Structure 1
Amino acid sequence: MSGRHVTDHQMRLFMKYRSTDTTRVAAAKAGFSTATGYRLGEDPRPPSLKRAPRDRRRPDPLAGIFDTEVVPMLEAAPGLRSVAVLGEVLRRHPELGEGIRRTLERRISHWRALYGAEREVIFRQVQEPGRMGLSDFTDMADLGVTVAGQPLIHRLYHFRLAYSGFEHVHVVLGGESFVALAEGLQNALWVLGGAPREHRSDSLSAAFRNLERDADTDWTLRYEALCTHYAMTPSRDNRGVAHENGAIEGPHGHLKRAIADALLLRGTPDFGDLAAYRKFLDEFCGRRNAHNRKRIDAERAVLRPLPARRTTDGEETHVTVTSSDGFILRRVFYTVPSRLIGHRLRVQLHDDRLDLYLGATHLLTLERGRGYGDGKRGHIVDYHHVIHALRRKPMTLPGLVYRDQLFPRDAYRQLYDAAIVALPQKAACKLTVDILALAHDRGCEAELATLIAELLAEGALPDMAALRERFSPDPANLPNITVLISPLSDYNALLAALPTGEAA
């Protein structure tokens, strides 16, 4: 058509149709005249190659500057950003102005394509079923998850099969430790029902000691022993090269965004307790895995069988209970029943708990605490363990190093603060200890805390006599119940009254 330029696309259409149609028909189908078709038939080059190069329409602002000043910068520092080069050029030649930015960026990009350093190449891999499982940790602070209204500072251990996309997550309350890795990995393998031939992680400090070297514990050997137990070959990517672990690094972002969406659909990121949050994540992963059920089932069929039992997923150590009715482990003080003072206990240290053993006998499980920075100690205190001693020594309360952690609920701490202000110190300590003892003896900790909060809101302190009467009966004054036991001769009389043959 007159007045319009023929495009490369029209040219390709014309050459295609001309192989089967006449020049007139092919030109009509391509959208131009027959004369143009004959002309293009004599020179089959695309129109874009026939145009003469366009000359510059304005002077080159970088003439005499790019080759003499910019190129030496790029050769001396290959990683230098274009915006830094722009700043240096404007510092030397302020008359050029900010308008040269796009020109400079295009010129630098073109120079690097021709003369720049070789760039890293990513080699795509063919994934085989049953070959590789991957592990990594990801921080969850940006999702704003809370437990009972308090922010939950945690990470997620993330396990994934490269072929089928099977996923499993485990809440980690501490850092990237071997304990968290071992527990999360074993949980994933036992949920999966098999083990891949190879397990890959990035350069975790938990497994490869890139950050710290502990002279007492060789993390690497422990990690290799864990993989050997499940007949997996341990491997890792090169330090600082995250894309080598891309089969799990990429899904991290998708996982966190999907969890954020699930929390929005749930209506709140707050959970009643940690167990509820873990259940939420287990159900979430179950739904995601259901979408890949066929691939997961196909891969599960070629996984290696699991061993007869799990290996230890905690770190084992020994502690001695001191006269302070507790022990210190990893800068945290834990209380235990006072009858264990002087005993040496075996401790299985997990990410979220401590299992205590006396010999082979399991004693109790404690919540794991975390030490504070600058060498300060944390405290995990159960008032049930020390209340019997506090009854005899209530005046130890003001200077007790773990006084704030002693109170099981905030209402008891507020009671102590109010009593110290309103009463003499001795009376305030005795009132606080008596109320803690009442909560221990009568099993009314929650109800008593609610009542104390109501009294403090009214500006009054609790009356111990009224509290003891309200939360009666007193275990010391329980009624004696006499059980009468009939003599055996009464049973003989009953047997004699039965018809013959029915005694059996």
Structure 2
Amino acid sequence: MTHPQPKAEVFAAIRRDSRAGLSGRQIAIKYRVSRNTVAEALRQPWPEPRKKMAPRASRLDEFKPLIDEMLRADLDAPRKQRHTAKRIFARLVDEHQAMEISYQIVRAYVAHRRGEIRVEAGRGPPEAFIPQSHLPGVEAEVDFGDVTVRIAGEQVKCFLFSFRLSYSGKAVHRVLATGGQEAFFEGHVHAFRVLGGVPTGKVRYDNLKAAVSAVLGFTRARTESARWTAFREHYGVEAFYCQPGIKGAHEKGGVEGDIGWFRRNHLVPIPEVGSLDELNEMIDRWDEADEGRRIGARARTVGEYFAIERPLLWTVSQEPFETGLLLPVRADRYSQITVRTNRYSVPARFIGRQLRVILHASHLIVYDGQQVVAEHDRLFAKGGRRLELDHYLEVLIRKPGALPGATALEQARAAGKFPPVHDTWWAAACKAHGDRDGTRALIEVLLLARHLPTEHLVTGLAAALRAGALTADAVALEARKAAEEDEQAAPEPAQHDNHEATVTFLTERRLAQLPRDTRPLPSVAAYDQLLKRARPPGERPAQGETP
């Protein structure tokens, strides 16, 4: 099947054949066009543009003047009492019986007509955007975005932090359990470490609560939170705050688009990981691979532009900044503390005690003075509980009947910290010794985990179960046997062929720099004359001689 040539090429061919002496009839037959087309081609070298078809009539046409009237009335109405597309549609139906139109048609018309009416009324210029150029190493943009991931089989909502350099487009990402100030700080510290420095100019931000405590009127002035000001001064960050709302999003469009691009290209389908640390390790690899891509029609890759930009960044302060929040807490009678609506367990000996918590974006650490007493991964949802079975063992050994229904035991099973061999050994111990003594024996076994590795303890449980030894002492013995076997099976450290010591002492190193000492070793034989002469037994000392 032959496809017709473009009309401009046909015109050129017709004019060429006419100059060669072909008649209009021959040309029309050759190119399968009308005689009128041949005559038009001979009159002008370029065909007339195709006429646009008149717009088709729409069922909305008769209602457009009514919509325009409502939109003009909104020019003088209070901002919070202006017509929405939904309200306009409702008025057309109620007041003008516009049953034949749909809400989608009204919404599409209102979307583009509202701005036109504002311009026609002289209330402002049409929306326009000015292209911007950025110097290397000077500017950056920061933002948070929502993402959904599956962690340990549970689908949770997390927050994607993005720090993007404006010149190169190099972006550093981090997924965090929260979008609070501690996550905001941790994202910055990670970005500074990866980039190797801080931009010398301004970093653009939203008016997020982690940094801004108050927006002062319609100006650029902001009241910053005290910790954010300290953080900025520590790392030398100069902040620039965008306008509130959609207008502010246009002022940092690079990072807004980057979050959407990263989410579509790396987080679709929803990633399934065991922990946030595992996900962030994947994200670090993705960020490194993304240096090979080109943004838009740029001549070079992100990595090539970043190689120009990196030496121009300010060096990061080597002194660490505590990104976590310090919170005072008190352990209640359930041996739990409350942090941001969630509850976490601590060892039972701290019930009623005042403790301190360092709250990080993805985990928290509990202190008693300078001693770390508990560590937990941070909960994603609100009103949850995270309990460690080990924190309750001292109480359970006195109340063994509380173990079967303990929430801490249920969570330990779900987390894989209470494998099936524990249940099997527990059931056998209860059958042999009774429920109370059998449960108490299991708790004694669980206490062994504080001194023995988990894998050796599991091996000891299995060996004791096979032998029918249902006591904690037997489990401890078998676990220590497994540990000794592992030590014997472990490869010996490599030995040097010359069998010389691998440790160089400072004194030997200093003496090695001195010339060889050829002097004889000192002797104390001359001092023997000072020694008392030994007398035979029974001989008395001479007169005047000291005995």
TM range (shorter): 0.5 to 0.7
Report the AA paired with residue 389 of structure 1.
Answer: V
Match of 1:75 in 2: 72
- Residue 278 of structure 2 aligns to a residue whose secondary structure is helix
Match of 2:361 in 1: 351
- Residue 287 of structure 1 aligns to a residue whose secondary structure is helix
Query: Which one of the candidate residues 195, 198, 221 is aligned to 1:195?
Result: 198
Query: Which one of the candidate residues 173, 176, 180 is aligned to 2:179?
Result: 176
Match of 2:231 in 1: 226
* TM-score normalised by structure 2 residue count: 0.60
Match of 1:158 in 2: 162
1:308-341 CA-partner distances (Å, limit 9, x unpaired): 3122211123345566555433334433345656
Matched, 1:380 2:386: yes
Report the AA paired with residue 324 of structure 2.
Answer: G
Distance 1:136 1:439, change over 3 A: same
Distance 1:341 1:68, change over 3 A: closer
Match of 2:494 in 1: none
1:354-400 CA-partner distances (Å, limit 9, x unpaired): 234454x4525611443864xx4x43332223312321222444786
Match of 1:252 in 2: 259
Whether the 8 Å CA contact 1:74–1:80 is kept in 2: the answer is no
User: 2-side partners of 1:327 and 1:59: how far apart?
Assistant: 68
Match of 2:244 in 1: 239
Whether the 8 Å CA contact 2:211–2:225 is kept in 1: the answer is yes
Report the AA paired with residue 141 of structure 2.
Answer: L
User: 2-side partners of 1:154 and 1:129: how far apart?
Assistant: 32
Whether the 8 Å CA contact 1:129–1:302 is kept in 2: the answer is yes
Report the AA paired with residue 163 of structure 1.
Answer: Y
Distance 1:115 1:200, change over 3 A: closer
Match of 2:528 in 1: none
Match of 2:132 in 1: 125
1:59-112 CA-partner distances (Å, limit 9, x unpaired): 99778x4475343234335865499659926983569x569998x899879966
| CA-CA distance at 1:201 after TM superposition | 1.9
Whether the 8 Å CA contact 1:139–1:156 is kept in 2: the answer is yes
Match of 1:370 in 2: 379
Distance 1:72 1:225, change over 3 A: same
Report the AA paired with residue 123 of structure 1.
Answer: I
Whether the 8 Å CA contact 2:347–2:373 is kept in 1: the answer is no
| CA-CA distance at 1:203 after TM superposition | 2.4
Distance 1:227 1:384, change over 3 A: same
Whether the 8 Å CA contact 2:172–2:287 is kept in 1: the answer is yes
Distance 1:387 1:61, change over 3 A: closer
User: 2-side partners of 1:444 and 1:67: how far apart?
Assistant: 77
- Length, aligned pairs only: 427
Query: Which one of the candidate residues 309, 334, 348 is aligned to 2:344?
Result: 334
Whether the 8 Å CA contact 1:412–1:432 is kept in 2: the answer is no
Q: Please give the residue correspondences for 1:370-409 in structure 2 after superposition, counting only pairs within 5 Å.
A: 370=379, 373=382, 376=383, 378-397=384-403, 404-405=410-411, 409=416
* TM-score normalised by structure 1 residue count: 0.65
1:234-271 CA-partner distances (Å, limit 9, x unpaired): 1222222222221111111110122136x79xxxx433
Report the AA paired with residue 170 of structure 1.
Answer: R
Report the AA paired with residue 156 of structure 1.
Answer: L
Whether the 8 Å CA contact 1:326–1:336 is kept in 2: the answer is yes
Report the AA paired with residue 400 of structure 2.
Answer: P
User: 1-side partners of 2:352 and 2:318: how far apart?
Assistant: 37
Match of 2:308 in 1: 298
Query: Which one of the candidate residues 430, 441, 447 is aligned to 1:440?
Result: 447
Whether the 8 Å CA contact 2:330–2:354 is kept in 1: the answer is yes
User: 2-side partners of 1:315 and 1:462: how far apart?
Assistant: 50
Match of 1:309 in 2: 319
Whether the 8 Å CA contact 1:86–1:101 is kept in 2: the answer is no
Match of 1:497 in 2: none
Segments of structure 1 that go 5 or more residues without pairing to the other structure are 1-5, 212-217, 454-460, 478-500
Distance 1:75 1:384, change over 3 A: same
Distance 1:397 1:99, change over 3 A: closer
Matched, 1:283 2:285: yes
Whether the 8 Å CA contact 2:135–2:167 is kept in 1: the answer is yes
Report the AA paired with residue 188 of structure 2.
Answer: L
Segments of structure 2 that go 5 or more residues without pairing to the other structure are 1-5, 25-30, 75-81, 216-222, 294-301, 482-520, 522-547
User: 2-side partners of 1:316 and 1:99: how far apart?
Assistant: 56
User: 2-side partners of 1:340 and 1:159: how far apart?
Assistant: 41
Identify the range of structure 1 (316-325 vs 106-115) with the bigger mean alpha-carbon deviation: 106-115
Distance 1:68 1:222, change over 3 A: same
Q: CA RMSD in A?
A: 5.4
User: 2-side partners of 1:164 and 1:406: how far apart?
Assistant: 47
User: 2-side partners of 1:344 and 1:448: how far apart?
Assistant: 34
User: 1-side partners of 2:397 and 2:104: how far apart?
Assistant: 77
Whether the 8 Å CA contact 1:379–1:405 is kept in 2: the answer is no
Distance 1:69 1:382, change over 3 A: closer
User: 2-side partners of 1:474 and 1:99: how far apart?
Assistant: 77
Whether the 8 Å CA contact 2:192–2:198 is kept in 1: the answer is yes
Rg comparison, structure with higher value: 2
1:133-188 CA-partner distances (Å, limit 9, x unpaired): 222222221xx4333x3335422212111111122122211x31000000111111
Distance 1:114 1:273, change over 3 A: closer
- Residue 392 of structure 1 aligns to a residue whose secondary structure is coil
Distance 1:435 1:274, change over 3 A: farther
Whether the 8 Å CA contact 1:334–1:379 is kept in 2: the answer is yes
